[in-house]
Amino acid sequence: MAKISLFLALAIIVGIGAMYFRIISAGHDPEVWHVDPLDFTIQTTPNTYYVAPQAMVHNTVDREAPIYAADAKTMAKALDDFIMTQQQTTRIAGSPREMWMTYVQRTPTLRMPDYISIRLIDLPDGKSTIAVYSRSRYGYGDMGVNKARVELWLNSIASFQE
């Protein structure tokens, strides 16, 4: 009986380890994760955070996007410069030149991947706004991680706000 219990415990540990390895080594296919935050189908799970100008999108936003007193290319470059200094963060598609980028950022402890798609939008008179869709790849809830990340990233460019 003790041998069976030991074998089952070992099998469970190996299974959990294999699942965790698969999660942390999963690829980041831009065809799947590089979504346009102005036109996509939002996940139905509560592990997302969405900022955009509500008048420009069909999904309900979590926060109305700010207006910036600089053009979209300037804002894309400033935001990308900040994002690329963040720990465990990689741009997987797009570029500031395109004003549309998608990043993967891994959570600090478990290294779970979260995906953040950003589009900067030119407005009249040299102004711009932003759309950001941050979501977790795994799980159901995120304990506010996506919201905290987006708010931190937006705060990095808050000095440009009108």
- Residue-level pLDDT at 108: 77
| pLDDT tens-digit map of 50-78 | 999 999 999 999 999 999 999 999 999 99
Give the chain's domain count. 1
The alpha-carbon radius of gyration of the chain (Å, integer) is: 19
Domain region containing 144: 29-160
Is 14 a member of any domain? Answer: no
| pLDDT tens-digit map of 77-116 | 999 999 999 999 999 999 999 999 999 999 877 778 999 9
Is 68 a member of any domain? Answer: yes
Task: Name the average pLDDT for the chain.
Answer: 91
Is 4 a member of any domain? Answer: no
- Residue-level pLDDT at 67: 98
Is 6 a member of any domain? Answer: no
CATH of the domain at 142: 3.30.310.80
Is 12 a member of any domain? Answer: no
CA-based nearest residue to 101, from 153, 58, 62:
153
Is 45 a member of any domain? Answer: yes
Higher pLDDT, 7 or 78: 78
Say yes or no to pLDDT of 12 above 80.
no
pTM of the model: 0.87
Is 124 a member of any domain? Answer: yes
Is 8 a member of any domain? Answer: no
- Residue-level pLDDT at 162: 86
- Residue-level pLDDT at 3: 77
Q: Which residues contact 39 (CB under 8 A, 6 or more apart)?
A: 57, 58
- State the DSSP H helix or E strand holding residue 133, giving kind and residue range, or none if neither: strand 128-136
